[in-house]
């Protein structure tokens, strides 16, 4: 059996009059993330980590932000496509560990729902999807509520 790891990192600006999608769910807030798609930073880093683990380039390579097909696309569709690419190469997801960096709002109440959405898309148990949340203590673009960032590490098996 082959075991591989992958890493994902992503940033989105926060702006008013946008929905805030994180981990496949819509979180009530006075700002949302800006992007060509729904700008779901957590799903994007998971996609990138999975693609990296399978050496399948990155999310921008497969879903270019110049392609009108991906305008405001639900990032759950992107993750579904990434899982198909992995399956096509003979891999399945082992586990996911991730961190979302956001000053406000508190993500902890939403984490169980995000885990179950992501686990469903990846065909794994919610127990194998770890999501952590951190602020940046008012420092930098996260602390000043100008943006949101996230990191993910995944393990895949084939």
Residues that bind Zn ion (CB under 5 A): 10, 44
Cα angle 147, 55, 38; round to 5: 30
Least distance between Zn ion and beta carbon 1 (Å): 31
| Residue placing its CB nearer to Zn ion in the complex, 36 or 158 | 36
Least distance between Zn ion and beta carbon 158 (Å): 26
Least distance between Zn ion and beta carbon 52 (Å): 14
| Residue placing its CB nearer to Zn ion in the complex, 5 or 34 | 34
Task: Tell me which residue has tokens 């946008």.
Answer: 18
| Residue placing its CB nearer to Zn ion in the complex, 133 or 152 | 152
**What tokens appear for 65 in the block?**
């932000």
């Amino acid at each position: 059996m082959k075991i591989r790891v992958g890493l994902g990192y992503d940033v989105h600006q926060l702006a008013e009059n946008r929905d805030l999608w994180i981990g496949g769910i819509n979180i009530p807030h006075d700002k949302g993330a800006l992007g060509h798609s729904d700008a779901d930073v957590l799903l994007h880093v998971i996609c990138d980590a999975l693609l990296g683990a399978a050496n399948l380039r990155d999310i921008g390579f497969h879903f270019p932000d110049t392609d009108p097909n991906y305008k405001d696309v639900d990032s759950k569709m992107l993750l579904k496509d990434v899982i198909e690419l992995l399956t096509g190469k003979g891999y399945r997801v082992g586990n996911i560990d991730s961190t979302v960096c956001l000053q406000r709002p508190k993500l902890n109440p939403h984490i169980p729902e995000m885990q179950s959405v992501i686990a469903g898309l990846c065909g794994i148990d919610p127990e194998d999807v770890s999501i952590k949340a951190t602020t940046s203590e008012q420092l930098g673009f996260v602390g000043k509520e100008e943006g949101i960032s996230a990191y993910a590490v995944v393990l895949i098996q084939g």
